[in-house]
Copies of this chain bind each other. A is one copy, B any other.
Amino acid sequence: MSNNRRASDELVRVIPIGGLGEIGKNMMLIEYVSGRETDAIIIDAGIMFPENDMLGVDYIIPDFRAVQDKFDNVRGVIITHGHEDHTGAIAHVMEHINAPVYATPLTRGLIEVKLKSAHLLDQTTLVTIQAGESVRLGAFTIEFFHVCHSIPDCVGLGITTPLGLMVHTGDFKFDHTPVDGWPTDFGKLAEFSQRGVLALFADSTNSDRAGWTPSESVIDPAFDQVFSQAKGRIIVATFASLISRIQQVANATMRHGRKIVVTGYSMVENTRMARELGYLDIPDDMLIDMNTARQLPNDEIVIMTTGSQGEPSAGLGRLSQGRHYHLEIEPLDTVVISAHPIPGNEELVSRTINKLIQRGAEVIWDPVMPVHVSGHASREELKLLINMIRPTFFVPVHGELRHLHMHAKLAMTLGIPEENIAVVENGTILEFTGESMSVGDRIPGGYVFVDGSGVGDVGPEVLRDREILGRHGFVIVSLTLDGRSNQLIGKPELISRGFEYLRESRELLNDARDAVAEVVYSNGHHSARSLRREVEKKLDRFFYKETKRRPMVFAFINEV
């Protein structure tokens, strides 16, 4: 590396950004700092999905507020591939950054849709790159290399910094027989290794899985078996972005003389774009719409749908509940769930399967037949990667803390010294010189929840209230008081939701009214405010005693 500055002036900082959850997956900032200049790049701009107890949250964006002062130095935003957890926050990020976005053609196509709906497409510069190319972004030179994953056109990054070469795998696996015939670029990895790699940032998602992740091509024989046994329609559910799976289903459809219907807005859009860009090869006459399908015998139809995660409002979820707009499960239907549950969705997926069986469908999912494989490298692949690259420093990323730890231990068994491995959480700054890596401060940050049109306005307090309301509901009492005599006028009015039907619990309702009246009369001289508090306290204790539940209680006092 040509380098005429004093080493002590120079630093490369790497900051994974996000809340708890997967580390460095959604967004990462790398900056080069010297006496004279500061250059930064951003890798990925994705979203997290809310956990089961983050009630009402639609999605979560990386909390980049603490690094926003660095955004003026950003020379480029690089998106490694087209999945939501790497692209979904692009509009939120590009609102604040004036630099080009670099992506491969398919990834660019998927990003454009998002920027367009946020009215940011016109003001964003998008640069199409191809694996094998390189771009210069300030002090950084980025070499894009092809990696296999579960969507085509993924890249990893060779990032030449003034202090050394860093390799970032993106999401990857070593599939020797991928659907698109384009394996991970082993040659490039070997070449990096020969140049000497200062630091490796590698995908840890499957660091708890032994062996080698099966190739996508193992799915084809399973599909063939399903297709040859199916007596009626075949309905295949998968992710809308799993372009290679759509190709595999289309191939099986062709082999078995059927026609294919693609349903669901995002899947239809992705299919259209991927065909236009040449990432999907489906002949025109094989792709039909639902109305045409209705004219065909059932055993000539394949329907592709979303909802493989059991989401109640997506295609498969609606089918399982009998609430689909255009479709209803029929007894000879075969439903293939070509996906694994994302952690946290296991219960929803099981329930969906049970309901589909209840409606008479034959359901095929992973334990029944291998109709899905993971898109992430397992332990033997991770070993191969580390031994091909032999980096000086190793930083496991893209996984929960527990995955990072397992990945770190795996690296130790390969001889990477413990002190050269950094397991860090989102927000922790890693500082590299040409010779050292150190763990720096942690920037503040947490979750930025997106709920409806609100970004960041729902915080932990609101979520806590939602949890209480969701568990116990609430009761409101409204009472009118004669201001002079402090006597109740009429009966206190009670309404409740999520607690229990007070209409059906007349006794409880009457006793609650009595309890309120008791407070009013035993508490002769008081302000409306103190009476309100007293009434709320009394009812809270009353309901807990009677039901062992704690609904939120609110009192309204009207003095007349």
Contact = CB atoms under 8 A, between A and B. Distances in A.
Top-3 shortest CB links A-B: A470-B470, A452-B548, A56-B471
Contacts of A554: 476, 495
Q: Dominant SS at the A interface?
A: mixed
Given A55-B471, A471-B55, A499-B462, A350 B354 contact: no
Given A500-B454, A500-B462, A351 B208 contact: no
Contacts of A346: 343-344, 346
A513 interface: no
A457 B500 contact: yes
Contacts of A462: 473, 498-501
A353 B343 CA distance: 14
A547 interface: yes
A402 B354 contact: yes
A55 B468 CA distance: 10
A436 B466 CA distance: 53
15 contacts: A51-B351, A55-B498, A208-B367, A208-B368, A210-B367, A350-B400, A350-B402, A354-B401, A358-B401, A358-B425, A457-B501, A469-B469, A478-B558, A480-B558, A556-B556
A389 B505 CA distance: 52
Interface in A34-63: 51-52, 55-56
A127 interface: no
Contact of A406 (B367, B476, B504, B558): B367
A343 B347 contact: yes
B20 A470 contact: no
Given A208-B368, A452-B549, A497 B476 contact: no
Contacts of A405: 357, 363
A268 interface: no
A354 B347 CA distance: 21
A347, A453, A469, A549: which has the most chain B beta carbons within 10 Å?
A469
Given A343-B347, A357-B401, A401-B354, A368 B406 contact: yes
Interface in A207-223: 208-210
A472 interface: yes
B453 A547 contact: yes
A465 B473 contact: yes
A467 interface: yes
Contacts of A461: 501
A346 B345 CA distance: 9
Interface in A197-236: 208-210
Q: This chain: how many copies in the complex? A: 2
A1 interface: no
Contacts of A351: 20, 51
Interface residues of A, number: 68
A56 B96 CA distance: 41
Interface string A357-393: 1100001010110000000000000000000000000
Contacts of A458: 500
Interface in A513-560: 546-549, 552, 554, 556, 558, 560
A474 interface: yes
Given A401-B357, A458-B500, A498-B466, A452 B547 contact: yes
A56 B466 contact: no
A451 interface: yes
A556 B478 CA distance: 8
A381 to B, nearest CB: 16
A51 B347 contact: yes
Given A346-B343, A495-B554, A474 B471 contact: no
Nearest to A23: B354
A549 B501 CA distance: 25
A478 B477 CA distance: 11
Contacts of A467: 470
A461 B457 CA distance: 29
Contacts of A350: 343, 400, 402
Contact of A466 (B401, B459, B469, B547): B469
